[in-house]
Amino acid sequence: MRRFIPVAEPVLGEAEVRAVAECVRSGWISPLSSSVREFEERFAAYCGVSEAVAVSSGTAGLHLVLVALGLGYGDEVIIPDMTFVATANAVAYTGARVVTADVDPRTWNITPETVARVLTRRTKAVIPVHLFGNPADVEGIKRLVGRKVVVIEDAAESHGAVFRGRKTGALGTAGVFSFYANKLITTGEGGMITCRSRGLGRRLRFLLDQAMDPNRRYYHPEIGFNYRLTGMQAALGIAQMRRIKSLLSAKHRIAKWYQEFLKDKRGLEFQQQQSGAESSWWMVSILLPKGVDRRRIEQKLKRCGIETRPFFHPISSLPMFSKNPERPVARQLFTRGLTLPSGAKLSRKDVQWICHALRKELV
């Protein structure tokens, strides 16, 4: 009997066990642990930025950046209609208005053209999402909006992805990554903010620690947040950083296998990369042929022991953001989109079996 194949799973081993055990034995398990700073420094160096600030989740990171940059009531923030709800929720926490832009039918990301359609005088920020690890055109969006509008990368899914020679997280005013259990590297839960501004880095560190004055202990001049990462999580993150190159290579191999085994299936579409973009292939996702019932395919594959998942519901389809009109490309992606198992442990035989089972249902 074939083993159950999950849509994603972390890669953890003895190195991670030792790292966490050493942290526990040291007694420094809190956010004050030196592991947190070491993790930040390693991640900043990896992304090619001067600042990395560890936070408790990717959602917390997005919220913190928006607050640090002064976003609030009366402002508009443009996000993709096709993204995880955390992108929208982080904007809503600030009181700013969520404005959705449609996405490109090939890359599934927002573009300068789709952003331009919803840009107004009230727009204060744009959050391009590198969907499933595929870099969005951050540079083009920056040129469109100019210096008065900040561009914040939602890089939750794009660890190691590259756009024109620079890693995601180094392209906008700031970038925000997630370390949830299904991400390329994980701390169980957690996140990281990257930026090139020392001043913004200081502001973020101040706010995430309840806005405590660093020169007057327990004096808090403004409202802050408890968005800190723990020492144990950071220790796990450091161990995971040592695997990042091999994990990325595995993701690229898996994507190539899927493309090889499904290349001649008429009507089936893979996510495309724009010129200069190198996806991390966090999740290999496809559009099923038009007219195919995605739910039926999900259930059939589940009976074969293969877990898949649908795409995110378009943000404009959710009750709290329904003032945004329906975006037709995002709606089509949701209707036809299916994410295939993409864990870095998958073998060529696993992928071949998944594709065989899928092709059988698409006859």
Q: How far is CA 298 from the centre of its chain?
A: 23
CA distance 80 to 130: 10
| 302: annotated active-site residue | no
**By the 8 A CB rule, do 281 and 254 touch?**
yes
Q: Which of 142, 183, 345, 349 is catalytic?
A: 183
Phi–psi pair at 222, nearest 5 degrees: -155, 175
Task: Give the span between the Cα atoms of 137 and 139, in whole angstroms.
Answer: 6
Give the tokens for residue 100.
């959705």
Quick one: which of 132, 151, 346, 139 has its CA closest to 254? Answer: 346
Write out the two tokens for 212.
């405590």
Q: Which residues contact 328 (CB under 8 A, 6 or more apart)?
A: 102
Q: What is the DSSP letter of 316?
A: G
Write the CB contacts of 131 (distance below 8 Å, at least 6 apart in sequence).
Answer: 80, 82, 83, 103, 107, 108, 109, 157, 271
CB atoms within 10 A of CB 238: 22
Of 189, 200, 206, 95, the closest CA to residue 152 belongs to 200
Q: What share of the chain is helix, strand, coil (3-state, %, to 5)?
A: 40, 15, 45
Listed residue (156, 242, 240, 146) closest to 194, CA to CA: 156
Q: How far is CA 290 from CA 2, 317, 362, in A?
A: 30, 21, 11
State the catalytic residues.
183
